[in-house]
Amino acid sequence: MPYPAQHKVQTRKRILESARRLFNHHGFELVSIDQIMKHAGLTRGGFYGHFASKEELYVQAMTSFSACNPFRTAVEAADPRITDPKALARLLVTLYLSDEVLADKDKHCPLYALPSDVARAGLKPQQAYTDLIRGMTCVFRAALDGTPDAEQRAQTMVSLCVGGMVLARTTNDAELRGSLRVAAKQQALSLLEGAARRTSRRAASAS
């Protein structure tokens, strides 16, 4: 008897979650389809009913982060719902560079967990990676609406957040892990707040 459609959807989600966690820990090359399926509690034979190749799964695993990342989870759990663009941008910076997120390797963002992998992986993984960069930039750019250099500031904030986490992930010095992220957070928030002050001054001058 065939499985219901919902069963297939749930199985696909299990494979994606397994792949995302294992890729985050070990990278693309060191993770096999057998390992992914075993980690998901499934057999290899079911893999090709959902994905054509490990490369396709890699792309989908990166893409799935947009729907399950700690920032989105925090926004959806907030009561009342956070809608102010600047509040969302502050939350993203603070959460992205937090101790909690750094410690949870299963939920690491592909932007800092997989950069060297993606650089070697080909056009489709690079496109998925690019989409994540653009999505993060959009959150910051929305908070900087009306600022002449909004795009440059937003991209700099992304660079600070991702770069701070890349460096923190690679050092065994606990104090440095903390100070790198504090510095990145302070500079990112200063770009956000500095833009707000400039916009307020221009509005006051115009009136």
Q: Can you give the residue ranges of every domain in the chain?
A: 5-54, 69-206
Axis-axis angle for helices 150-170, 174-206 (nearest 10): 170
Better-predicted residue by pLDDT, 151 or 8: 151
Please give the structure tokens belonging to residue 72: 């989105």
Assign residue 27 a region (left: φ > 0; alpha: ψ between -120 and 50; beta: otherwise): left
The pLDDT assigned to 1 comes to: 45
Pick the CATH number of 69-206 from 1.10.10.60, 1.10.357.10, 3.90.1150.10, 3.40.190.290: 1.10.357.10
The pLDDT assigned to 6 comes to: 81
Mean pLDDT is lowest, of 2-11, 63-72, 94-103, 183-192, for: 2-11
pTM value is 0.86
- Cis amide linkage into residue 80, ω under 30° from 0: yes
Average pLDDT, the chain: 90
Residue 51 pLDDT > 80: yes
- Domain 5-54: which CATH class? mainly alpha
Per the CB < 8 A criterion, the answer to whether 16 and 58 are in contact is no
